Structure 1
Amino acid sequence: MAVVREFTLPDLGEGLTEATIVQWMVEIGEVVSVDQPVVEVETAKAMVEVPCPYGGVVTARFGEEGTDLPVGAPLITVAVGASTSAEAPADLSPDAAAEAVPAPSEEAVPAESGEGSGNVLVGYGTSAAAARRRRVRPGGGGGAAGNGGAADGPGTRPETAAPEEPGASRTVAVISPLVRRMAREHGLDLATLHGTGRHGLILRTDVERAVRERQATAAAATGPATGVVTATGRSRAEGERIPLRGMRGAAAEKFTRSRREIPDATCWVDADATELLAARRAMNAPGAPKVSLLALLARICTAALARFPELNATIDTETQEIVRLPEVHLGFAAQTDRGLVVPVVRDAHTRTVEGLSAEIARLTDSARSGGLSLADLTRGTFTLNNYGVFGVDGSTPIINHPEAAMLGVGRITPKPWVHNGELAVRQVVQLSFTFDHRVCDGGTSGGFLRYVADCVEQPAVLLRGL
């Protein structure tokens, strides 16, 4: 006798109270095992795959992709103890797999209507857990792209799963969650797109091209942009509306809180980085582990914080106390397709330049692939912001609340510079330092920045503290 168990959205830690459904990884009627990821959600911190603690047959799902759910809300129900012989072997064809999966009860199958009722097979392939399984919606009526019937995993190949007959099922090959999100945000049906990737894979450029074409068509049909009148009688321009939620919303809230609570100030200095670049070239000799410029700057930061520990701190607003922190957990700003994130290098003060370089590279790769964990994004104590990668010289960044300071690094560019009493062309960088004025005064902040600039101009200065 099967027992139906309800699995709710668990507490994802770090005080998070809700999450957005990004992608369902199981279908109704599918057999799942204990601890198998069943849904991918986006929190204010990161993308997370949520595993189910029950094994059995999925009887219901709650919430469409894009839905916000609070912690404790139902996600799925699983019939525990139901026969697992329904699982479709990976080597079956879509038709044979559909016959192998028993049809769920009418109550468990949501009504299908509107777009996507043409039985579109969707290949997700966005995680190792998803890639191990094939998911086929039984019963002949499929769901909308990304939410209806699905055949998934290595056994599904677009070139073999797409019949030639008009109106027949075809595979929509989508690997990246970003592609699915972009299509959903712009109201695009992935089933109407033709992928330019291998085996017809739909790429980000395919979605962007479809969006541009649709916008161009709409602009040609409507003519110049016009305004609309709101309920209050005021006119406003039409435009794309992007919800401030998930990681974007969390960043907006943090920026606003930082500006509201922290009395920040900024000082800056130009520095000759010629010798620093020469030192990096010497470190990157053939056969040696590569050292990034950001890693060198990170090592300079940790040395400077050892001299000025009052800057590795936070403010306890409830007790009105400055809390100086013993460990340096160094955050660095990283731009990704999903926005700005700040991965954190744990115990940066204990790492060598090579160790910092390897860890920064690992976190950067994880950030761009959407694989950062909550631990990778939280509890930083100081942030290094290399905005020079955007080709700009200077900035007055917003402090990463609740930290007390941030070092900004502009681009390194050749400029005329007085060197050894003579005018020369040197590689010059602008360094900016934004700090919480409650934590320190101008003497401390100026001393910190001057020490950083001295290390940039003469890397041998670092040897004093080693």
Structure 2
Amino acid sequence: MAHASDGRSMEFKLPDLGEGLTEAEIVRWLVEVGDVVAVDQPVVEVETAKAMVEVPCPYGGVVTARFGEEGTELPVGAPLVTVGVGEGEAAAGGPARERGAGDGAAPAQAAEPPAAEPPAAEPKPEGSGNVLVGYGTSEAPARRRRVRPDRPTATGASGRANGRVRAAEPVGGAVGTAEPLDGPVPVISPLVRRLARQHDLDLRELTGSGPDGLILRADVEYALRAAAAQGGRTADREAGAGGAPAGAAAPAASPSDGTRVPLKGVRGAVADKLSRSRREIPDATCWVDADATELMRARTAMNASGGPKISLVALLARICTAALSRFPELNSTVDTEAREIVRLDGVHLGFAAQTDRGLVVPVVRDAHARDAESLTAEFARLTEAARAGRLTPGELTGGTFTLNNYGVFGVDGSTPIINHPEAAMLGVGRIVPKPWVHEGELAVRQVVQLSLTFDHRVCDGGTAGGFLRYVADCVEQPAVLLRTL
């Protein structure tokens, strides 16, 4: 039977989740300290700005420490768990947590850094060989966090770790804080540096809670709150000494006071992208009403044949891809540095989906190569994954054109914001019975409003109008689409 001392403690860090993501929030731990985990078993569920992701651990063994509580935001590269590799057999003789957590003591591996270098002859524990995005699993990352005494921050506030936000705290073990670095203060992003500058906060007087002393946004925000609270207490003392009499009523709240909702996660990512689109893209919108009666009849006939049901959005997607083959200018992006328009070969069709977590835009890959049945199945799969919060970053990025069916909200029209860095978006309103002149006579027809918002840099109004008119013709006479296939 192997013993704990026969193995090694491997530290697994939050991997690079791709698509430029730099941080993630711990939503739910899937393992406890003392649990035995297999290679590639998910150990934590995190939320990024793109999606909810289960993170698998590339090492098998006993979990000896967890870093971060649920709700904590960690940067890429911060420790997630340590695993006693080779302790699985020892755990078979009894629950692993009885050896450390059961008696209230810290896990044996949690507070001690591993030896700097293993003996040359000692074989290295192997990972699964599966490579997470931007993260290899075949070799253990070196540990650089060392324990040193806590020191207060510039605010002088007491409380949570002497004013420091601890983003990585092993359960039942000691806190590892980073040694101070020479040179510029390490900050997770320029936005955090700007936030500190706007409030005259000296970053050199803060202790970062990220790996190697990296200063996170949470560190700056906590220091600002502590400073504000300290200032409020000082003002209260001054007012009590020579100002308002004791027992005087507090001033009424400002009319501008209200509930603050952090722009983070999916909501924050959407806000950043929409803001960038408005800043960088000179967009314009054109729209047209179309008689969708024949399209609805065609769909009814297709679904009466006994085969798989075809969705309306799938038919609209087929019309979009056909229109883009005739007007490829709208399936493009603008390279601002090279001052070039890049016309893209394939159509990766995004579609707007409203979920409990906010608006997301899943992407149907190679939509131009799919028939209506395949499109229907893919739309259904991605919509279900979106509502469950299980879309991967790859399923939420890489779109070249977006279809926005806002008619499901019961509205007729809209001028949507382009999904940067795409060049256009087709909007579809609700389909409702309306008076319409059909074949020279007034009749009640199924009418829909179509709108196209486009980047005026990639084409002029003639091209945009031609695209939208072709889409409307296909909606009114589906046979037009058949002639182009």
CA contact (8 A) 1:273 1:457 kept: yes
Amino acid at match of 2:16: D
CA, structure 1 residues 87+14, in 2 after alignment: closer, same or farther (shift >3 Å)?
farther
Aligned to 1:308: 327
| TM-fit CA distance, 1:84 | 3.9
Correspondence for 1:24 among 26, 29, 54: 29
Amino acid at match of 2:106: E
CA, structure 1 residues 244+412, in 2 after alignment: closer, same or farther (shift >3 Å)?
same
Amino acid at match of 2:317: A
Aligned to 1:238: 258
Q: How does 1:386-465 map to 2 (within 5 A)?
A: 386-465=405-484
Amino acid at match of 2:296: L
Residues 65-85 of structure 1, C-alpha deviation per residue, up to 9 Å, x if partnerless? 111111111111111122545
SS of the residue 2:412 aligns to: coil
RMSD: 2.4
Aligned to 1:181: none
Structure 1 unaligned residues grouped into runs of 5+ = 90-95, 111-146, 150-225, 230-234
Aligned to 2:356: 337
| TM-fit CA distance, 1:88 | 9.8
Cα distance in structure 2, aligned partners of 1:104 and 1:279: 70
SS of the residue 2:106 aligns to: helix
Cα distance in structure 1, aligned partners of 2:73 and 2:100: 30
Cα distance in structure 2, aligned partners of 1:267 and 1:102: 65
Structure 1 residue 349 corresponds to structure 2 residue 358: no
Residues 337-370 of structure 1, C-alpha deviation per residue, up to 9 Å, x if partnerless? 1111111111111111111111111111111122
Rg comparison, structure with higher value: 2
Cα distance in structure 2, aligned partners of 1:402 and 1:227: 46
Cα distance in structure 2, aligned partners of 1:253 and 1:358: 31
CA contact (8 A) 1:30 1:87 kept: no
Q: How does 1:64-103 map to 2 (within 5 A)?
A: 64-86=69-91, 103=102
Aligned to 1:208: none
CA contact (8 A) 2:349 2:365 kept: yes
Correspondence for 1:228 among 253, 257, 262: 253
Residues 3-35 of structure 1, C-alpha deviation per residue, up to 9 Å, x if partnerless? 111111011111111111111111111111111
Cα distance in structure 2, aligned partners of 1:35 and 1:104: 29
Correspondence for 1:275 among 273, 286, 294: 294
SS of the residue 2:386 aligns to: helix
Correspondence for 1:36 among 31, 38, 41: 41
Aligned to 1:107: 106
Cα distance in structure 2, aligned partners of 1:398 and 1:350: 27
Amino acid at match of 1:439: V
SS of the residue 1:297 aligns to: helix
Aligned to 1:262: 281
User: Moved runs in structure 1, 4+ residues, more than 4 A?
Assistant: 96-102
Structure 2 unaligned residues grouped into runs of 5+ = 111-169, 173-250
CA contact (8 A) 1:273 1:456 kept: yes
Amino acid at match of 1:389: V
SS of the residue 1:244 aligns to: coil
CA contact (8 A) 1:29 1:104 kept: no
Cα distance in structure 2, aligned partners of 1:85 and 1:236: 61
Aligned to 2:214: none
Higher mean C-alpha displacement, 97-106 vs 270-279? 97-106
Correspondence for 1:322 among 328, 341, 362: 341
CA, structure 1 residues 459+104, in 2 after alignment: closer, same or farther (shift >3 Å)?
farther
CA contact (8 A) 2:60 2:88 kept: no
SS of the residue 1:455 aligns to: helix
| TM-fit CA distance, 1:97 | 10
CA contact (8 A) 1:31 1:84 kept: no
| TM-fit CA distance, 1:57 | 1.3
| TM-fit CA distance, 1:424 | 0.5
CA contact (8 A) 1:86 1:102 kept: no
Cα distance in structure 2, aligned partners of 1:104 and 1:338: 40
CA contact (8 A) 1:412 1:429 kept: yes
Aligned to 1:365: 384
Aligned to 1:15: 20
Amino acid at match of 1:433: L
Aligned to 1:46: 51
Residues 151-209 of structure 1, C-alpha deviation per residue, up to 9 Å, x if partnerless? xxxxxxxxxxxxxxxxxxxxxxxxxxxxxxxxxxxxxxxxxxxxxxxxxxxxxxxxxxx
SS of the residue 2:474 aligns to: helix
Amino acid at match of 1:107: A
SS of the residue 1:228 aligns to: coil
| TM-fit CA distance, 1:102 | 6.7
Amino acid at match of 2:105: E
CA, structure 1 residues 36+294, in 2 after alignment: closer, same or farther (shift >3 Å)?
same
- Across the two proteins, how many residue pairs are aligned to each other? 342
SS of the residue 1:106 aligns to: coil
Cα distance in structure 2, aligned partners of 1:84 and 1:358: 45
SS of the residue 1:11 aligns to: coil
User: Percent identity of the aligned residues?
Assistant: 75
